[in-house]
Amino acid sequence: MQKELDYYPTNAKNYTVDEWILMLQEKDCFTPFLQEAIYVLVFEMDGKGSAKQISEITGRPYQVYNTSMAQTVKRLRKKGYTFETDLRNKSKKERYWCHFFNGYYEKELFIWEVKDSLQEAFMKYIGKFDRDDALTYDNELANEYETIEGMKRHRTHYQIERNSKIINIAKKEFIKKHGELFCEACNFSFEKTYEIEFIEAHHILPLYMGKRRTRKIDLIMLCANCHRAVHNKKWIDKPIDEFLEYMKNKSIKY
């Protein structure tokens, strides 16, 4: 007999699917890290898991997900959405997770379970991206990923790669570390070749088919050719390290 879950009591409001969709569509409100956490929970962990378990998959410190929820709630409040304040008894600090998840303890881990209405809204939100918009980058996706789930994964991927704020920060940090922008796979430099400061950013988002491989998700700088290649069906499901090693062994270098 399945044990009934003992959910942590909160006074958080239960939003409808349509209300969540409106919030997801608000510009610069739902942080990329919170979207990433929901994505991992929904597509990789059957809708529930702890912050540390999410961290083991993404490679990010689990604290960023707590912070991202606080940021999202504060931003949405400024937009006029009502989120009841739910304070911890001892510390009197606000619980932000309760607005997005149901929570319960399981083997000394505190589990976040994505609320049904948010999960449905999130999947619809991902699905709203036009199919042609995703396929303009790589028309082979239609043949390689015919399932709805596969397309949703890639749409999420493209959405993250289009987030200019994340990309700009990553490029500035890359320049600070290396002195210039160049392709991390083939070393091609737009600046040296064309005298323009340009590079594309690829977000490493593993699909984790079969046994999961714990790795750090990050932005990697690639030239247009290499970026196109890693989205090709030959490389799309392989760890980025394999592509980088392949390019490292190629005789042609810029």
Residue 18's alpha-carbon distances to 84, 98, 119, 188, 191, in angstroms, are: 19, 19, 12, 46, 46
Residues forming beta bridges with residue 104, ordered by sequence position: 111
Q: Which of 94, 90, 96, 91 is nearest to 73 (CA)?
A: 96
Residues 207-230 pLDDT 10s: 333 333 323 346 789 998 898 888
The string of pLDDT tens digits covering residues 170-189 is 888 889 889 999 999 999 99
Residue 141 scores a pLDDT above 60: no
Q: Which of 11-15, 87-91, 246-250 has the lowest mean pLDDT?
A: 87-91
Whether this prediction's pTM lies above 0.85 is answered by: no
What does the alpha-carbon distance between residue 2 and residue 158 come to, in Å, rounded to a whole number?
39
Interval 87-137: pLDDT, tens: 877 767 889 999 999 999 988 889 999 999 999 999 888 765 433 333 333
Closest CA to 208 of 237, 246, 247, 179: 237
**Per-residue pLDDT reduced to its tens digit, 196-207:** 888 888 877 543
d(CA 12, CA 188): 51
Quote the percentage of the chain above a pLDDT of 70. 74
Residue 245: enclosing H or E segment and its boundaries?
helix 240-248
